[in-house]
Structures are given as C-alpha cells and as structure tokens.
Structure 1
C-alpha cells in the first residue's frame, strides 16, 4: 500500500544528515591537508564548525527529541523516522567531533606553537607564570566563583546552556575511611576571558585556560574537603521550545519570557573531558537523564568556539587571508546625491565585494533630506551598534514618517532586536513587531520623497540582512531602483505588514506565503514545457538550502523533460542528483570559502528570453509557506548580464567548489587542464578593477 511512498523516499536525502555534510565541508576548510587556507583562517573554520554543531543540537536535534517524546513516528521524505534520524546523527556527529579534536590536537596546536601562539598546561608553567596566575586568581578569579555542593539542603545546580563547568567529587577530610562522597560543581564564569595571557619570554603569546587555573586552585573553594576527582563538562539544551503566538496578548513580552526559558530547556547533549571518572559521569547522566549516545568525550578543551578570539590576535596578519577592503559601488563614486544616481539607472550591489556603506549612506541621506517624507524598512538581523538603526531614529527625530518592522522572532537575535525596537520607538518610529504566525524575512527599504514633479519612491531590495557587520562576511546582492512599479509594490508590501491590506495586483514582486511558491512552480514548469517542445531549457539556482519536497519534485519533472539544471547550494540539499530517469540532468555544487555564501539567485532561460530573479527566500518549506519573503526580477540589461556572469563564475569555480553525488557525498571539482578559478577571489579582484576603472574614467572626464 505504501510502495509508492517507499519508492519516493529513495529520491530524497535526509535534511539533518545533509546539514551534517555541510558542516563537514566547513570542517574540511580547517583540516584538509591540501588546503591553502592560512592557519588562523583554518582556526576560524574549526570554531565555526563547533558553533554550528551547537546550534544544530539546540534546534534541529532538539526538535527530533520533541517528536519522539510526543510519540510522533512518521517518516520524513527520505523515509527516516525521528528515532532513526537520531541514531544516524549520533554516529555522524561522534565522528565529526573526533575529527575536530584530532585536527586541533595533532595539527593546529603544534602549528600555532611554531608561530609563537602557545596553550600552556600546568606542568609547562615556569615559576614566574605560576606566581602571575596565583595573584590573578586571588584578586580577580576567586571573587567571581560560586562553588556548589549537592546534599539534602542543596539541590543539583541549574547548569546554564553551553556553559563550561567543573564537576567534582569531594570527601570530608575528617571522615577518612567512611563511605560516601559529595558531588560539587563550579561554573567557569563567562564574564571572564576564557583564555588568560601569561608573561612569556621570546616574544611568544602564551595562554592558559581559565578552567585550568580554577582547577589549580580548587582546594581554595572546598576547604576541609579533599577533591577525589574532577573534570570539565558542558551541556547543550533544547532552545526550540515553541512560542505560542496565537495565545500571546503581548508578543514582545511573550518573546522575552521565551528567551528566559531557553536557558533551561531539556539537556540533549553532554560534552565531557576525556578520562572523566565513571562515578562522576554516572551522576551527571542520571541528573540530566541522558544515555550513553548523548555523551561526547573530547580530547581537548570543551567548546572550540574560543578559537575565534585567538584567530583575531594582533600581530599575525601573515597567518590570515590578505586584507580585503570592500570597494565603492562604481555608479556612486563621488556621487553627492544618491537619489540622483538611482534616478538615472538601477544600481547593483554585490557584497562584500562592493561596500555596504552605500546602503547606510542611502538611509542617512534620507534621514536628513528635507524632501524625504517617509522611510519604511524591515529589519531581521542587525549589528550590535547598527548605523542603520541610528539613521532611522535620526529620521524620526527629524520629523519623517518612519515605519520599521523589527522581526522579534529572528532566532538567537531576539534580545538584540528587542533592544533596537525599543530604541526606535523612543525616537518616534512606528515599530511593528512582526506578524503572528509568520516571520518577516524579506529585505526591503522604501524611501518616499517629494520632488519637483511629484512623489517619487526609491527602493532597496536585497538577499541579505541590513547588517553592516555581516555584510563584510556574507556574499549578498542588493538592488537600488526608482522604478515606479517596484515602488508601488513596496508600498503594498508595507501596507500588508502594518495593516490588513491584501497584496493584489502586484506589478513586479512575488511575496510569500501568498504568491511565491506558485511563481517558482510556474517558472520551473515553463522550462519543462520549453524542453518538451524541443527548445533549449536551463535553470540555474543559487540558494542556501534546498529542502522543499514539492519544489524538488518539480525539478525532477523538469529534469526528466530535458531541462539542464545547475544548483549552487551552500548548505542542505535534499535533492539527489544524477539518478537515471529522474535527475540525470541536475548537477549540484556547494561553495564554502572565505565569505559565507548567502545570496539567492534564480535564472530561467525561457526559450532564449532569459529571466533573472533575486530573493530573500531559499527553497525551503518555511520560506515559501511560513515567512514573508520577496522575489524580485532583474530587468536592467546591464545588471542582468552582470548577475549572469556571477552565476557563470560560480559554476566554473574549481578551487572551493565541491560536487554532490547521488550517495550524498561531496568531492572536489576536477580541474586538470582547466583555468584555476576561485569565485570569491575572482569577485574581489574584479571589484577592485571596476572601482579603479570608474575612478580613472571620472578623472578623465574632469580633465576634458
């Protein structure tokens, strides 16, 4: 009866295992022996892979446990039940953790030592360093510590999510020979630096871990007791406990309560220091209600995310990528009036190769321009000291009508967004906290200006967040336009976000969850029809994730019809390429490099009349059905050609690209006899070249 479904299951990769393959690619950027990445950049990739794994457990693995506890056993599109997924995840992640720490101990630490960056153990400290640490402990560390023991009057302590703790067993010195030990714990305080720099000779940068310093002085915390054994541990909790938006009378208050609960969710992973005493481990397992498969024993310091700070040490630029300065947008070089430049033609932004400053300047100029009447913008993730937010606040204080949708449900950025929302409200902005049941993920900015010939609207649309920090680290594409049809659609979108207006009669934009899925479906089906009619048919899509079952099935149908499909998928890909009779016309590649690939680009050959689209959305069910997302066309011929070239360079990348096979593995691109192309390096060089050419041309015109 289920044979059809069982057959379909063979056509999909499991989402979670595909994500682990992505994290493996991140780890390979750190550990691949043939990798040309400088050592401190490798350190960053190792830290990122560790941070990624934390979030994976807190959200994705946690949701699988939620399903198991609720008795849900329905298989996913790949045919795996939640329990089966957990079993596979455990095997894969145990291997991954072994790889992380194997690289850390065998390669990274020795390489860093050669470069003068040394992590010292207790036995390696000289007397001067011991004296320094003793004084530091007494004056700075000891006053912050809180030793806790468990007995009849003291319950087991609440262990904070992702905190490093020292667990120990104690014995009363006056009761030698008597049975019984006491459990104790000390949290390694996050308010102090995890790595402590100690004096050293020979120009070396030497560090000792904070937890090791506490261990060296543990007797000062439990006087009158002997420490039988001690070891570090770290828990990962379920942070995805669900937010009941429908029942919440005040969404802001509900999210604040939700953030507090996140610290104390169910423990789903326990990391322990190698060699932990079995009795001590038994206590932790029983208290956290964990089985052996939830235990990760590591040979090295817990939580490798500390490596990110080490990677930023000054004085080691030779161990990093060559510095890259985002280039000015060629159309805006020496342009005093950004509105005048946008009026003349649409302007393409390609971050971080071209600077995000143009977007900041756009908002700043709008805030202080007496002709500007209103500014409307969506904010999903912004930086900790956002110039965009400050400019919006300034605009409101200058009397502009400012409307800002701050998405409070942006995962792990909720608290930051609450702070910004309150700041904007105090400045006089009209702040919308998002829509019930939907995340607002679209990136759109509208400026309404009174000009000599009447009202004119200027629009910025993008694939990435309005975040000046990540704009230097993520690849994204943006578009400035004064096209009145885009302006009318932008106004309609904001009216929908702030009120009950329906999105009817849109000119250019497609919006999820209303029309975006249907638009993608019709575009894919149109290519399939062209192929059936004997025309050349091609789809190129660059996205972060491909998960949606319906979209994948549409791609399979298009492939069977003869459409040549190239997918550039950074992360999760549940589609299986290269299956005869199903997906033999589909190729999938992933690029993990210096910058995080974040842009979403869609090209359809359309029987020789190519169509190009940019979007905030991935091909995931959540983006198409449960978020406010925008898809917008690229109509300027010059910009169309530029983006088509961008896609072509990605498809020619044979340095950072890896190709997905039908078994779910990724392998490097064969480049024998081919020109060596690293897409991100290419875009850096091209941006510099175009910027220099634009400056030279402006200088030439001034001389005439």
Structure 2
C-alpha cells in the first residue's frame, strides 16, 4: 500500500468550486515581476544533461536486471542524440563564430561539450568494464574480429558477401567525387588508402556509407557458438573485418567508423506557405542534412582522419567525440530484443483494467454515473480504446472529435476513426503535423483520414496543438449529450504502456461544452469562447497558474495554510519560476516534482528555502502533470497536458482542467504527489547549486512506481476490489 498523505491536508468532504478562468484580453499575459535582488536561474541545457545522468544511474544500478541496464544505457544515448539534434545548434554556431557575448558563446559551448563528453565517457566505461563482462558471464557475447574462431570468421565472411557487400558503394574522393552528403546519425567509414586507383591516381581518402536497412546487431547461428551461449556480431565489426575487400589492389592503412549528428528541428515559415502539409513533407526530405553539431569517431581514429572529418563538417574541437566502442550505442538495444532472456529483464507488467470501470459494461453508461479516472500504465489504455470503439459502433453517436499529437505509425485508434467515417459519423481530427520526429506518421494519417471524408484540421498557425482530448456527441432522446476524455499523455497505446499518465472520462456538461468550444476554436480560429472549467494556452493557462501561485503566497503572508505541490516534466518558464520564488519567500511550502530540466534553484538561503525540487526516475517514464494549490480553506487540483515551460504556456495549444470529485482528487494526491514525495528508491533531490543527490540512507520499501504496480497488480488491493 502507498503511504498515507501526511504531507498534504485531507480534502474537504465537498470540493470547493473552481472559479472560471478570466477571459484573456491578449494572447500573451504579462509575466510576473522577478523577486528582489539578482538571481541566476539554472542553465536549461546543463539541466537536461543532468537529467540524463539520473537516467544513466539506472544503467549503473546492480539491482536492475542486466538487459534492462543495457536498455537504460541505450535510452541515455537516444536522449543525447535528440539533445544534440534540437538544443546544440546555437552553442555550436556561437563557437564557430567566436561569439563572446549573449546567451550562447564559445565558453558556453565548451562547458556544455565538456559536460556531454564526461557523460559519454562514463557510458562507454560502464559498457566496456561492467555490462559487457556481465553479459558474457550470462552467455551473451558480442564477438569482435580478434577473438572469433576460424568457423566464426567464415560465417561472418559469408554474411558479409551475401547480405552486406551488395549494398555498399565505396566512394573514392577526388575533384569529380567530392565528400558525400552524410545523413544525420548514419553509420559510415572513412578509409585512408595506399597505392593508386585504376586510373593511376593516388586519391587516398574513401568514404563507405552503410545503408540504414542493414541490422546493426546480428545474432550468429548456434552452430558457430559454444554450448549455452548466444553470440552476436556488430555490423560495424563485419564491415571493418572486410574493408580491404572493398578496395582490391590497394592497401587500407587507416580507417574509422564515424557518425555525424545534425540539427533536425524542422523550421517552416507557416505564414509564408500555402499548404503546411506539403511544406512539411518537403522539409522532411532535408531534415537528415541539417547543420552538423557533433562528430563521433572511434577512439583509435588518427588525428589525420579526424581533422579531415572536422574540416568537412566545419565543427570545433569540442564537438568531436572519440568513443571506445560502436559509435551508436542506441543500436545495442537490438541485442536486448534478440537475446530474449527473460531472467535478465524486468518481470512483464500487465496493466490492470481500471478499478473504477466494470469490464463489459458500456463505458458511456458508466460515465453517466460518475467521472472515471485512468492511471496509466498501471491501468490499461484499452479502456480508452473501448470508449472510442463503443462510440464508433453506437448508431446514436453522431460526432467524434479528437486531437492527434503522437499516435504512432500503426494505430488502432486511427483505424477506429476511419471506421467511424465509413459508418457515416462526422469525424473531426486535429492533427499536429509539427509533432517533433512524428511529422511523417501524422502527415500520413491526415491524408488517410481526408481521403475518406474526415474533417482534418492542422491546428493554429505558429502554434503546436499539444492538448489531448477526445469528444463524443450522442443523441439521447430529444437532446444531445457529450462524453469527453482528457489526458496528460498522447493517444498512443504503445507509449501508454511505458509512460505514466492520467486520463479523465467525463460527461460533465461544463467541461464537455468547453471541449467542444476549443475544438470549434481550433477549426475556425475565431477567438476562443469563455470557458467555464478548462484553461487554455496560449490565452489564459499561464495567467491562471500565476494567479493560483499568488493566491497561495498571499495566504501564507496572512498566516493561513499555504501549500503548492506540482508534478511535471520540465520547469523552465521564467514567469512561473518568479511567482514560485515569491510565494516561497512569503512563507508558502512548495514541493516540485520535476522529471527533467528545472531552472529554478531550490533551497537557496534567503531565496528559496521553502522550495524543494525532486526528480523521480523509474521503470516507466514519468509524464503526468498534476498541480495542487492549497490557500487557507480553498484547495484546487488540476491535471494538464502542459509542462511549465514558456513554449507550452505561450507557443502551444494546451489544456488544464480541474478535478472536482473528492474521491478522485484524493486518489490523485495519494498516487501522483504524496507517493513521489516519499519515494526514496528512484528519487533525487536538487541541491542549491543545481546538482542532484540521492537519499544518503534510503528507507527500505518500494518506490512510487513499484508501490503502484503492487497496488494495481493481480494480487494488489485494487485487483481485490475489482473482483468484489
């Protein structure tokens, strides 16, 4: 069982009504003024790297199953790839231009690269000195060329000739064959040659590009492996062993793997294009060839070859990463799937059917009785699919409206929307084409829906539609009734098994009317209606959060109970940070549970003694956004699709909504706030200098996620409650 909530006051028997947010007069609310005295916020980019250090800790933990440790190592590498693709360009450009003033300078570049270099070095050290030997002890080995038996070398040679060699095109560089355009994150080899080519020229540099279609980790057949061992070989090792085969008559004197990371954030001037979908599809073709920001080479790469590559990519020295192993650790994740050793993985988790719902009973009938709360991945996302499936099959359902941000390339949910159109229902899909790295899948779904007659809306020019809502309109007798689902996470069944999120199923008239108003606003782009319950960014979500924080601060100043507990993925909005600091200085107790980047410096004497910041990392990716405010006798609890970031508040369409039902509110407080404030297994506390530390003497017991798994698992109290 989860611990009782001593940190938070009990909710009153009757929830206090939540006042309607004021209608915004302008798009951007005025930010609050900063607290007195100078204050340096924590650096956002270093905070992102610090988050990845916390993830990396799970790869270091001996109590984590071995293949899961390897998976965490790969997750860190994947996160770093995205960090460089999205966040590094300004720093790299500053270093290239010799900038010494402003937010980005050569010095900021050097400091950031030193931080990243240290983390990468620790990754490879852990892999080489701990994970690889431990895997080998369990019979899982990646076999390099130098230790292969004669039989294994013959098999690798056959594999190379059959599967790899036909797809490789080595390019010798000369005036007619300039340095090729190297795609983002692709595997390549640079080779230095001795001797002359077929035309008597001594062009000494060649590039070998490796097609993405080839698997990076290959399992060797059992016939060439010792008993009870699974052997693997890396594609890079296969090619390395047979580089000379690609250059007959010449001698390979030097070579290295290399991989370049490029800026990959699509930039489309929406004001200057007539068709956003077409413009984005064209932009996708160029994404793989943006500005180079990082170069990875093998640790043994010669200075001659690394200098040659740096010149080609115009990269400063700090952007060169020499790695002791494969240049792409992300691809080692394929070994986790190929190994299939269940004893080295987490026990499989099967999400429970939601405790508040009766399986087999119509979802909308249950919603008419009361609001339903879903807590993923502890409770199954199948309940959301059941709700939509029921609506598609119900002849009395007339209209289905849904926002689509990240649903995946293969989605039952999207197929259900298509089936709804075929059954004659009005379907409106707000498809966010600019969802980073999901643009192509979303464009394809938009085209598929449009082709059969659905109304597809691409959101608002200049803003991303990040709100998560599904609205059903049903004829009941002589009237229409709306049924809604609001979520902190995406409509993606796969990530719903990996991310923690909350969803609310409701037919509350005010909330569903607000949802319908927001959908109409997104389609018409008229001014949004006056909302009764929902808070909408970029209009008044930030303003309302600032007001709630200020209200808590005023209560503290008046000697009343004053408490804020907020859980989110990132805290970088300066207006909200200023407001939190001021409320803390007024005496409010503030706990912030921030998974990733946090720019607010906590526990600073005279500035933020009353503010604690903690980050919880676990088996699942923390993704819920919960905001709790207690000011005197008034208590408010909100769920939201938005983090407290400037982009979410002012450059995206986001929603926050209140939870009125006392039982649901207390459940959210217990499961999403109190349990995380008491977690000592996956929690890190922020120090005044911005660093993070784990509890020095953690109390025995499960962390928040493990406790929730125990609560909702087949033998847990919620499972027993469902059986009753």
Could you tell me the TM-score, scaled by structure 2's length? 0.92
1:352 aligns with 2:377: yes
**By how many angstroms is 1:670 displaced?**
4.2
1:701 aligned residue: none
* 1:102 paired residue among 125, 135, 140: 125
**By how many angstroms is 1:25 displaced?**
0.5
Output one character per residue of 1:139-159: Cα deviation in whole Å (capped at 9) or x when no partner. 221111111111121111111
1:297 aligns with 2:319: no
| Secondary structure of residue in 1 paired with 2:460 | coil
Output one character per residue of 1:237-264: Cα deviation in whole Å (capped at 9) or x when no partner. 1113522111011100111122111111
Alignment check: 8 A CA contact 1:577 1:660 kept: yes
* 2:113 paired residue among 90, 108, 119: 90
Q: Distance in 2 between matches of 1:92 and 1:193?
A: 31
2:136 aligned residue: 113
Q: Rate the CA distance shift 1:356–1:555 in 2: closer, same or farther, 3 A.
A: same
2:87 aligned residue: 60
Q: Distance in 2 between matches of 1:432 and 1:71?
A: 44
Q: Distance in 2 between matches of 1:7 and 1:18?
A: 24
Alignment check: 8 A CA contact 2:217 2:332 kept: no
2:483 aligned residue: 458
Q: Rate the CA distance shift 1:93–1:248 in 2: closer, same or farther, 3 A.
A: same
1:485 aligns with 2:531: no
Alignment check: 8 A CA contact 1:509 1:631 kept: yes
Alignment check: 8 A CA contact 2:396 2:475 kept: yes
Q: Rate the CA distance shift 1:68–1:454 in 2: closer, same or farther, 3 A.
A: farther
Q: Rate the CA distance shift 1:7–1:565 in 2: closer, same or farther, 3 A.
A: closer
Output one character per residue of 1:657-704: Cα deviation in whole Å (capped at 9) or x when no partner. 0000011111112445x452400001111112244223321xxxxxxx
1:659 aligned residue: 685
* 2:446 paired residue among 421, 444, 454: 421
Moved over 3 A (4+): 4-11, 63-76, 81-84, 178-181
RMSD: 2.0
Q: Distance in 2 between matches of 1:349 and 1:251?
A: 35
Map 1:259-658 onto structure 2 (within 5 A).
259-452=284-477, 454-646=479-671, 647-658=673-684
1:208 aligned residue: 233
Q: Rate the CA distance shift 1:675–1:170 in 2: closer, same or farther, 3 A.
A: closer
**By how many angstroms is 1:282 displaced?**
2.0
1:694 aligns with 2:721: yes
1:165 aligned residue: 188
**By how many angstroms is 1:446 displaced?**
0.3
| Secondary structure of residue in 1 paired with 2:434 | coil
Q: Rate the CA distance shift 1:8–1:166 in 2: closer, same or farther, 3 A.
A: farther
* 2:49 paired residue among 8, 20, 30: 20
| Secondary structure of residue in 2 paired with 1:86 | helix
**By how many angstroms is 1:82 displaced?**
3.8
Q: Which moved more, 1:131-140 or 1:511-520?
A: 131-140
Q: Distance in 2 between matches of 1:10 and 1:468?
A: 43
Q: Rate the CA distance shift 1:51–1:328 in 2: closer, same or farther, 3 A.
A: same
| Secondary structure of residue in 2 paired with 1:312 | helix
Output one character per residue of 1:195-246: Cα deviation in whole Å (capped at 9) or x when no partner. 1222312121111111211122222211222112111111011113522111
Q: Distance in 1 between matches of 2:294 and 2:205?
A: 20
Q: Distance in 2 between matches of 1:49 and 1:174?
A: 43
Alignment check: 8 A CA contact 2:44 2:598 kept: yes
**By how many angstroms is 1:69 displaced?**
6.9
Q: Distance in 2 between matches of 1:252 and 1:68?
A: 35
1:41 aligns with 2:63: no
Alignment check: 8 A CA contact 1:241 1:265 kept: no
Output one character per residue of 1:331-380: Cα deviation in whole Å (capped at 9) or x when no partner. 32323311001110000000000000001111111111101000000010
Q: Distance in 2 between matches of 1:339 and 1:459?
A: 10
| Secondary structure of residue in 1 paired with 2:500 | strand
Q: Which moved more, 1:125-134 or 1:653-662?
A: 125-134
Q: Distance in 1 between matches of 2:684 and 2:79?
A: 20
Q: Distance in 2 between matches of 1:73 and 1:427?
A: 56
Alignment check: 8 A CA contact 1:63 1:240 kept: no
Higher relative contact order (CA 8 A, sep 6+): 2
Alignment check: 8 A CA contact 2:510 2:533 kept: yes
Q: Distance in 2 between matches of 1:147 and 1:325?
A: 48
* 2:215 paired residue among 193, 199, 205: 193
Q: Distance in 2 between matches of 1:72 and 1:439?
A: 31
| Secondary structure of residue in 2 paired with 1:260 | helix
Q: Distance in 1 between matches of 2:140 and 2:156?
A: 18
Q: Distance in 2 between matches of 1:28 and 1:271?
A: 23
Q: Which moved more, 1:98-107 or 1:603-612?
A: 603-612
Output one character per residue of 1:589-614: Cα deviation in whole Å (capped at 9) or x when no partner. 00111000000000001313321000
Unmatched 5+ stretches in structure 2? 1-32
Q: Distance in 2 between matches of 1:5 and 1:123?
A: 62
2:243 aligned residue: 218
**By how many angstroms is 1:136 displaced?**
1.5
Q: Distance in 1 between matches of 2:339 and 2:450?
A: 39
| Secondary structure of residue in 2 paired with 1:408 | coil
Q: Distance in 1 between matches of 2:697 and 2:496?
A: 31
Q: Distance in 1 between matches of 2:302 and 2:434?
A: 41
Output one character per residue of 1:562-591: Cα deviation in whole Å (capped at 9) or x when no partner. 000000000000000111221100000001
1:669 aligned residue: 695
Q: Distance in 2 between matches of 1:240 and 1:462?
A: 26
* 2:178 paired residue among 145, 152, 155: 155
Alignment check: 8 A CA contact 1:446 1:458 kept: yes
Q: Distance in 1 between matches of 2:480 and 2:416?
A: 22
| Secondary structure of residue in 1 paired with 2:356 | helix
Q: Distance in 1 between matches of 2:406 and 2:363?
A: 25
2:77 aligned residue: 50
Q: Rate the CA distance shift 1:345–1:72 in 2: closer, same or farther, 3 A.
A: farther
Alignment check: 8 A CA contact 1:492 1:501 kept: no
| Secondary structure of residue in 1 paired with 2:473 | strand
Q: Distance in 2 between matches of 1:632 and 1:147?
A: 57
Output one character per residue of 1:600-634: Cα deviation in whole Å (capped at 9) or x when no partner. 00000131332100000011000000000001000
Q: Rate the CA distance shift 1:315–1:238 in 2: closer, same or farther, 3 A.
A: closer
Q: Distance in 2 between matches of 1:16 and 1:426?
A: 42
Q: Rate the CA distance shift 1:120–1:6 in 2: closer, same or farther, 3 A.
A: farther
Q: Rate the CA distance shift 1:87–1:282 in 2: closer, same or farther, 3 A.
A: closer
